[in-house]
Chain A
Amino acid sequence: MHRRIAIKNLALIIGGAALLPSCVHNSGKASVKLKNVDINADQEKLIGDMAETIIPKTNTPGAKDLQLHLFVLKMVDDCYTKKDQQDFMTGMGQFTDLVKKQYSRSFGECDQKQREQTLLSIEQDKDPKSTTYPAELKSFYGMVKGQTVNGYTTSKYFMTKQVVYELVPGRYNAFYPVRKKQAV
Chain B
Amino acid sequence: MANLNIDSVKDRTFDAIVIGSGMSGGWAAKELTGKGLKTLMLERGRDVKHIKDYPTTNMYPWEFEHRGEMPMAVQEANPIVNRCYAFHEDAAHFFVKDKEHPYVQDKPFDWIRGYQVGGKSLLWARQTQRWSDFDFEGPARDGFAVDWPIRYKDIAPWYSYVEKFAGISGNKDGLAELPDGEFLPAFPLNSVEQYFSKHVKSKYSNRHVISARCAHLSKPNQIHLDQGRAQCQERILCQRGCPFGGYFSANSSTIPWALKSGNLTLRPFSVVHSIIYDDKLGKATGVRVVDTNTKETIDYFARIIFVNAAAMNTNLVLLNSTSHRFPNGLGNDSGVLGKYVAFHNYSAHMSAEYDGFKEWTTDGRNPAGGGYIPRFRNVFKQETDFLRGYASGFSAYRRRQRGWDGIGSSLKDNLVNDDLGPWSVGSHMMGETIPKEASYVALDAKLKDDWGVPLLKISMDYDDNDEKMKKDYIEQLTEMFTSAGFTNIQASSDHRAPGLDIHEMGGARMGHDPKTSVLNKWNQVHAVNNVFVTDGACMTSTSCQNPSLTYMALTARAADYAVSEMKKGNI
A interface with B by C-beta (< 8 Å)? 1-2, 5-6, 9-10, 12-13, 18, 53-56, 58, 60, 74-75, 78-81, 116, 119-120, 123, 145, 149-156, 158-159, 162-163, 165, 167-178, 180, 182-184
Contacts and interface: CB of A to CB of B under 8 A. Distances in A.
Given A176-B362, A176-B363, A184-B400, A170 B60 contact: no
Interface stretch (B109-117, B403-411, B449-457, B562-570): B403-411
B415 to A, nearest CB: 6
18 contacts: A2-B54, A13-B63, A54-B407, A55-B412, A79-B69, A116-B407, A116-B408, A123-B406, A149-B415, A154-B62, A165-B60, A165-B61, A168-B233, A169-B234, A169-B365, A172-B362, A176-B361, A176-B362
Given A79-B72, A163-B416, A178-B359, A172 B234 contact: yes
7 tightest A-B contacts by CB? A171-B364, A176-B363, A174-B188, A172-B364, A174-B190, A173-B363, A169-B364
B366 interface: yes
A167 B235 contact: yes
Contacts of A55: 411-412
Contacts of B412: 55-56, 58, 60
A56 B410 CA distance: 10
B65 interface: yes
Contacts of B55: 2, 5
Contacts of A182: 361, 363
Interface of B: 51, 54-67, 69-73, 187-191, 193-194, 233-235, 237, 243, 358-367, 400, 402, 404-409, 411-412, 415-416, 418, 420
Contacts of A13: 62-65
A182 B402 CA distance: 15
Contact of A152 (B194, B362, B364, B415): B415
B409 A177 contact: no
A54 B408 CA distance: 5
Nearest to B51: A1
Given A169-B235, A175-B360, A2 B61 contact: no
Given A58-B409, A156-B60, 19 more contacts: A2-B58, A5-B56, A5-B59, A9-B64, A9-B65, A10-B63, A53-B407, A55-B411, A116-B407, A120-B407, A150-B67, A162-B416, A168-B235, A169-B233, A169-B365, A173-B362, A174-B191, A175-B191, A178-B360
A81 B363 CA distance: 37
A101 to B, nearest CB: 21
Contacts of B70: 79
Nearest to B71: A78
Contacts of B189: 174
A184 B420 CA distance: 12
From B60, B190, B359, name the one whose CB has the most chain A CB atoms within 10 angstroms. Answer: B60
B64 to A, nearest CB: 7
Contact of A6 (B58, B65, B411): B58
Contacts of A74: 65-66
Given A119-B407, A171-B364, A174-B191, A159 B60 contact: yes
Contacts of A173: 362-364
B405 to A, nearest CB: 7
A119 B51 CA distance: 47
B400 to A, nearest CB: 7
Contacts of B59: 2, 5-6, 9
B61 A154 contact: yes
A56 B411 CA distance: 10
A174 B362 contact: yes
A177 B366 contact: no
Contacts of B364: 169-173
Given A123-B406, A174-B188, A167 B58 contact: yes
Contact of B58 (A1, A53, A153): A1
